[in-house]
Amino acid sequence: MLEPRHQVIFYPEDPAALSQATRTRTSPVHLSTLPSALLCPHASYDMSLQALHNSFARAAGLHPNLVVVLVPLHQEVLMCDEPAFLFSQKGEGMVIGGNTIRFATDLLAQLQVRYTPHLALEESYFEEESAFELTLPFINSYLPDTPVLGLAVGACAKPQLELLEHLLASITDYEEQTLFIVSSNANALLPNDVAAEHAQHLGECLRRGDSLLEAQQHHLLSCCNLPSLEAIRRQKWATQRWDINSWFCKGQEYPHPVVVGEGKEKIVWHLSASLGEMHVCETNL
């Protein structure tokens, strides 16, 4: 079993405090079918706890057989690892807060056979990238005992994006009852006004199902993990549009992105969203 590396800074190390932080909450609407997807922030719990709950609460009632977590790879791929641009971890799972989260080792072995050398097992990339690890306690809370596949996704030109699209399709061919979790921000660290514009435009693209690549080429988007969002958009099952639940900046919830504060302070927006058929709880009808 792997040992966690990002506790204390990104999430509570104390098991009782972690259990309290990730205790399940309710949502007026839920995802009702699989495959489906959640969009979650990858900031520390201090900044993203409510947004994480807002996303995961929409998966309450689902019983997936597999959870796939797609996180952004912020660092450049080392020359010795090229042409790989997708990375996963060795090991049977990870123990966090006294709880064991199992990895989907059988699926990973099959993907290695099909997608090597573009997919590699390299632990070092997860030492710098915290998004996968900080998501695991929420998976354990809302979707206990579900095996997890973590993939760190690097920069993608057209051939890599098409390969990622094909890989995600092969996952649902292997296991239709899959929940995808995409970890991303809504914009890069940018001045107030530009950050709000980029976040707002991302939201519009997600709601309409527009190509994110085209918006990025016109410098209208700056979110991380755009390749994962675009590859999810291209999946045959993704006939619905992303439903945005909430927006957050510095841990504060807003109805939509706005210019926050004064001057040209640089900020990052986060959002909570879900993709798939939705069910309204009877108590909210």
pLDDT at 221: 96
**63 - beta bridge partners?**
none
Q: pLDDT at residue 91 above 80?
A: yes
CATH number listed for the domain at residues 28-284: 3.40.830.10
Least confident of 12-26, 178-192, 228-242, 270-284: 270-284
Q: pLDDT at residue 283 above 60?
A: no
pLDDT at 239: 92
Query: With bands split at pLDDT 50, 70 and 90, how would you rate the model's confidence at 39?
Result: very high
- How confident is the model over 198-224, as pLDDT tens digits? 999 999 999 999 999 989 999 999 999
- How confident is the model over 120-140, as pLDDT tens digits? 999 899 988 889 999 999 999
- How confident is the model over 149-195, as pLDDT tens digits? 999 999 999 999 999 999 999 999 999 999 999 999 999 999 999 99
Q: pLDDT at residue 71 above 50?
A: yes
Query: With bands split at pLDDT 50, 70 and 90, how would you rate the model's confidence at 1?
Result: confident
pLDDT at 149: 98
pLDDT at 184: 96
Residue 109: CB atoms within 10 A of its CB come to 9
- How confident is the model over 231-259, as pLDDT tens digits? 999 999 999 899 999 999 988 999 999 99
Alpha carbons 14 and 135: distance in angstroms, whole number = 16
Least confident of 18-22, 26-30, 85-89, 106-110: 26-30
**pTM of the complete model:** 0.96
Helix 45-56 / helix 131-142 crossing angle, nearest 10 deg: 40
pLDDT at 5: 79
In terms of Cα–Cα distance, which of 212, 203, 185, 182 is closest to 269? 185
Q: pLDDT at residue 97 above 80?
A: yes
How much is the average pLDDT of 44-73?
95
Query: With bands split at pLDDT 50, 70 and 90, how would you rate the model's confidence at 285?
Result: very low
Q: pLDDT at residue 118 above 90?
A: yes
pLDDT at 108: 98
